């Protein structure tokens, strides 16, 4: 049977039951609209929350961890080698925090094709002297340009100019720390290191990541300023931060390079495993809710087509009597179902896009996230592709069983009954 005739008959049957057809298409439209809107909004929030951690966290961090020496004298003495030795209250051994031969390591990493960028860092525990009170904190010495390039540093500098960190004796304070010290931009503050070195620095900006505990204790200065603060040479580096082209390589690469350079290494996936699990669960819930909406709309189409078949049994009998076979009748009702899916799904995708645009314009201002002005929305095309695919799949399945039932109708029984 020609497909043009199949389409013509399908159109006639849909128009004959226009209200029911419109209700089914509206159900599909609403489901697709909510599916796209929900996924765009939820994944936008996930991306925002991930950014709070991923933007400022290296994929791999190299450092020297302070820990007890595993080779105690009693274990390497010939007299006690074959005995069971128990040692209590082992204290950490004197070890250097600085990474040995850091310049060569950084050069080797920059030549690695898997590496996007490398940024050295010097961390120093200090006291911020405020009158007679000392506030504990951490000053991170950074390569300003690389930090801005690799870790979106500029996105979190809410006041001041980050480029002024390249000047000697300047600092950007965490917003919470600055509020506790009642310090304004341009003020000069005094810092005392754990070794007792004192230094005066000028405040050139505020940093606010959105994580309260972090902003209450952390501040940033140039790597040269912190080395000077500690009385260390220019080669003194306590951390090497690495960004990769492929985040998934971080765990294996960290273990590999840890053995090569004989230093400790942390990868982002291991350190932030709980955060990543939360993101995956939120995404899973979003997909589950969206797919549930599509399945519910599929049941609506199934019921409508069942009623249509019951009411059009005489039409089906006549079609079969004049030469239509079961496959033709099957195609007619599947065409009706797919038409509902295409029309409702297409309109739903458009409405979903405009709903995301609407959410994207809603103001979202909070002191914890000063760089976020509106609700975040993700416009990834895959959500629209998934929505369209599920629209066609659910409407096809919703029409398949009623169509199979219609194709099995015996015209003799229907006409005899009439």
* 3-state SS class at 210: coil
| Res 70 pLDDT > 80 | no
366 or 291: whose pLDDT is higher?
291
Provide mean pLDDT across the span 247-265. 85
How many domains does the chain contain in total?
2
Q: CA-CA distance, 323 to 418, in Å (whole number)?
A: 20
Alpha helices in 152-191 (DSSP H): 175-181
- Among the candidates 271, 287, 302, a domain finishes at 271
Q: What is the CA radius of gyration of the chain?
A: 33
Q: CA-CA distance, 374 to 383, in Å (whole number)?
A: 21
| Res 94 pLDDT > 60 | no
- Give the pLDDT score at 95: 61
How does residue 146 score in pLDDT terms, banded at 50, 70 and 90?
A: confident
User: Is 62 part of a structural domain of the chain?
Assistant: no
| Res 229 pLDDT > 80 | yes
| Res 155 pLDDT > 80 | no
Average the pLDDT over each of 72-86, 108-122, 348-362 and give the range with the smallest value: 72-86
- Among the candidates 271, 288, 315, a domain finishes at 271
199 or 307: whose pLDDT is higher?
199
- Give the pLDDT score at 353: 92
- Give the pLDDT score at 323: 72
- Give the pLDDT score at 103: 86
- Give the pLDDT score at 174: 85
Let me know whether 347 and 235 are in one domain.
no
Let me know whether 262 and 284 are in one domain.
no
Q: Which residues contact 79 (CB under 8 A, 6 or more apart)?
A: none
Alpha helices in 55-157 (DSSP H): 73-76, 102-110, 144-151
User: Is 94 part of a structural domain of the chain?
Assistant: no
- Give the pLDDT score at 309: 67
Q: CA-CA distance, 371 to 369, in Å (whole number)?
A: 6
User: Is 91 part of a structural domain of the chain?
Assistant: no
With residue 205 as reference, give the H or E element that holds it: strand 198-207
User: Is 232 part of a structural domain of the chain?
Assistant: yes
- Give the pLDDT score at 39: 84
Owner of token pair 């940093």: 207
Percent of the chain with pLDDT over 70: 84
| Res 1 pLDDT > 60 | no
Q: How many CA atoms does the CB half-sphere of 284 hold within 13 Å?
A: 6
For residue 188, the enclosing domain spans 101-271
Q: Which residues contact 12 (CB under 8 A, 6 or more apart)?
A: none
Give the dihedral of Cα atoms 46, 52, 53, 57; nearest 10 deg.
140
User: Is 82 part of a structural domain of the chain?
Assistant: no
φ, ψ dihedrals at 290, nearest 5°: -65, -45
Owner of token pair 């503050």: 189
Q: Residue 215 class from Cβ within 10 Å (0-12 exposed, 13-18 middle, 19+ buried)?
A: buried
Let me know whether 252 and 106 are in one domain.
yes
- Give the pLDDT score at 351: 92
Let me know whether 184 and 284 are in one domain.
no
Let me know whether 116 and 264 are in one domain.
yes
Q: CA-CA distance, 93 to 72, in Å (whole number)?
A: 10
User: Is 83 part of a structural domain of the chain?
Assistant: no
Q: How far is CA 43 from CA 53, 63, 386, in A?
A: 15, 33, 14
200 or 67: whose pLDDT is higher?
200
What is the average pLDDT score of the chain? Answer: 80
| Res 251 pLDDT > 70 | yes
Encoding tokens for residue 265? Answer: 């290494």
Let me know whether 310 and 177 are in one domain.
no
Strands (E), 245-326: 264-267
Pairing of strands 198-207, 170-174: parallel
Q: CB atoms < 10 A from the CB of 23, how many?
A: 14
- Among the candidates 271, 292, 311, a domain finishes at 271
Let me know whether 119 and 237 are in one domain.
yes
236 or 97: whose pLDDT is higher?
236
Encoding tokens for residue 328? Answer: 């033709």
- Give the pLDDT score at 305: 67
User: Is 295 part of a structural domain of the chain?
Assistant: yes
User: Is 96 part of a structural domain of the chain?
Assistant: no
With residue 244 as reference, give the H or E element that holds it: strand 239-244
What pLDDT digit, counting tens, does each position of 16-60 carry? Answer: 777 777 887 888 888 888 888 888 888 888 777 777 677 778 888
Provide mean pLDDT across the span 220-243. 87
- Give the pLDDT score at 354: 92
Let me know whether 180 and 318 are in one domain.
no
Owner of token pair 């929030």: 45
Q: CB atoms < 10 A from the CB of 170, how many?
A: 19
How does residue 90 score in pLDDT terms, banded at 50, 70 and 90?
A: low
- Give the pLDDT score at 18: 78
Let me know whether 261 and 293 are in one domain.
no
How does residue 380 score in pLDDT terms, banded at 50, 70 and 90?
A: confident
DSSP 8-class letter at 99: P
Let me know whether 241 and 358 are in one domain.
no
| Res 386 pLDDT > 80 | yes
Let me know whether 149 and 224 are in one domain.
yes
Let me know whether 219 and 285 are in one domain.
no
Alpha helices in 231-325 (DSSP H): 250-261, 268-271, 273-311, 313-321
């Amino acid at each position: 049977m020609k497909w043009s005739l199949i389409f013509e008959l399908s159109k006639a049957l849909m128009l004959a039951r226009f209200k029911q057809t419109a209700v089914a298409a509206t159900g599909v439209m609403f489901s697709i609209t909510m599916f796209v809107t929900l996924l765009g909004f939820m994944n936008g929030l996930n991306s925002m929350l991930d950014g709070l951690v991923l933007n400022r966290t290296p994929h791999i961090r190299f450092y020297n961890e302070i820990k007890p020496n595993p080779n105690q004298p009693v274990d390497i003495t010939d007299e006690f080698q074959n005995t069971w030795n128990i040692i209590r209250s082992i204290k950490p051994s004197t070890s250097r925090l600085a990474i040995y031969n850091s310049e060569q390591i950084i050069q080797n990493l920059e030549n690695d094709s898997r590496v996007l960028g490398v940024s050295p860092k010097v961390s120093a525990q200090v006291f911020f002297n405020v009158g007679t009170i000392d506030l504990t904190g951490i000053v991170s010495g950074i390569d300003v340009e690389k930090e801005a390039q690799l870790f979106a540093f500029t996105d979190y500098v809410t006041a001041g100019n980050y480029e002024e960190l390249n000047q000697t004796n300047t600092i950007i304070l965490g917003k919470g720390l600055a509020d506790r010290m009642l310090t304004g931009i341009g003020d000069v503050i005094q810092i005392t290191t754990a070794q007792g070195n004192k230094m005066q620095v000028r405040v050139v900006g505020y940093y606010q990541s959105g994580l309260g505990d972090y902003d209450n204790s952390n501040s940033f200065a140039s790597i040269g300023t912190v080395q000077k603060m500690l009385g260390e040479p220019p080669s003194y580096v306590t951390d090497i931060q690495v960004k990769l082209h492929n985040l998934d390589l971080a765990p294996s690469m960290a273990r590999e390079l840890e053995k090569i350079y004989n230093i400790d290494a942390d990868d982002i996936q291991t350190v932030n495993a709980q955060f990543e699990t939360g993101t995956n669960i939120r995404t899973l819930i979003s997909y589950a809710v969206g797919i549930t909406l599509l399945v519910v709309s599929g049941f609506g189409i199934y019921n409508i087509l069942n009623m249509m078949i019951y009411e059009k049994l005489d039409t089906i009998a006549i079609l079969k009597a004049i030469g239509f076979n079961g496959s033709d009748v099957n195609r007619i009702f599947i065409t009706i179902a797919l038409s509902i899916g295409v029309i409702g799904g297409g309109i739903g995708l458009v409405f979903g896009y405009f709903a995301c645009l609407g959410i994207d314009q809603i103001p979202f201002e909070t002191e914890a996230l000063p760089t976020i002005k509106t609700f975040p929305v993700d416009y990834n095309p895959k959500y629209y592709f998934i929505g369209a695919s599920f629209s066609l799949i659910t409407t096809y399945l919703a029409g398949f069983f009623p169509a199979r039932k219609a194709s099995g109708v015996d015209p003799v029984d229907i006409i005899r009954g009439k």
